[in-house]
Chains A and B, each alone.
Chain A
Amino acid sequence: DTAVSQTPKYLVTQMGNDKSIKCEQNLGHDTMYWYKQDSKKFLKIMFSYNNKELIINETVPNRFSPKSPDKAHLNLHINSLELGDSAVYFCASSQGGQTIQYFGAGTRLSVL
């Protein structure tokens, strides 16, 4: 069983479209994250949710809206996609008080 799963794995879309990426974890963790990896492989935190509550939002444009319907899911919706949004997006999870994070396989988003 995959611990942290993201869908889709690849996403190719046109500028201006709206798209969503889904993330689910079956580890029973209470905290989930979204990271962005740019074309130079640099990884940076975007959002963090703890028990469905947003706790970190790292100056991400308002076009990005995370949603956590329950502790096991953290979805990322992106409005009006721009060329600069092309990247690999990673979901991760951890358990309260623990520092180890478990990552999904990533979603490669290409905006044309």
Chain B
Amino acid sequence: GNSVTQMEGPVTLSEEAFLTINCTYTATGYPSLFWYVQYPGEGLQLLLKATKADDKGSNKGFEATYRKETTSFHLEKGSVQVSDSAVYFCALSANSGNTPLVFGKGTRLSVIA
């Protein structure tokens, strides 16, 4: 079956540090890949997505590239801010639509000033 593995947290960084959160997936076919973010006390928000190999999703300074050869979708940001403190979820969806998301276990990021 489909699955997503992302790095264990928590991750603690100083403001302006470089962020990488690793995500790899196992799937049949060509899934769509997502990063969702959950800020403290809030619901899930879509951060970025990529629907085919070599696509790069980007939003709010975050980027992730769909790498089919390594089945990866690592999240990166060049300079984190305190406001980026949240839990980040990597997820995939089979490309047929109307199928549930399969989530990784989430990575908690804490950014300190």
Task: List residues of chain A with CB under 8 Å of any chain B CB.
Answer: 30-31, 33, 35, 40-45, 48, 50, 55-56, 58, 90, 92, 94, 96-106
Contact = CB atoms under 8 A, between A and B. Distances in A.
Contacts of B105: 40-42
A99 to B, nearest CB: 4
A43 B38 CA distance: 12
How big is chain B's contact interface, by range?
20 to 34
B98 A48 contact: yes
Nearest to B105: A42
B98 A90 contact: no
A96 B43 contact: no
Interface string B83-113: 0000101000111011111110110100000
Nearest to B43: A105
Interface of B: 32, 34, 36, 38, 42-46, 49, 51, 87, 89, 93-95, 97-103, 105-106, 108
Contact of B100 (A40, A45, A98, A106): A45
B5 to A, nearest CB: 12
B93 A48 contact: no
A31 B98 contact: yes
Contact of A43 (B32, B97, B106): B106
A4 to B, nearest CB: 8
Contacts of A41: 38, 87, 105-106, 108
Contact of A99 (B32, B43, B45, B89): B32
Contacts of A30: 98
A96 B97 contact: yes
Contacts of A100: 34, 46, 49
Contacts of A50: 98
Nearest to B101: A101
A90 B91 CA distance: 15
Nearest to A101: B101
Given A41-B105, A43-B89, A99-B32, A48 B45 contact: no
Contacts of B94: 99
Contact of A106 (B43, B93, B99): B43
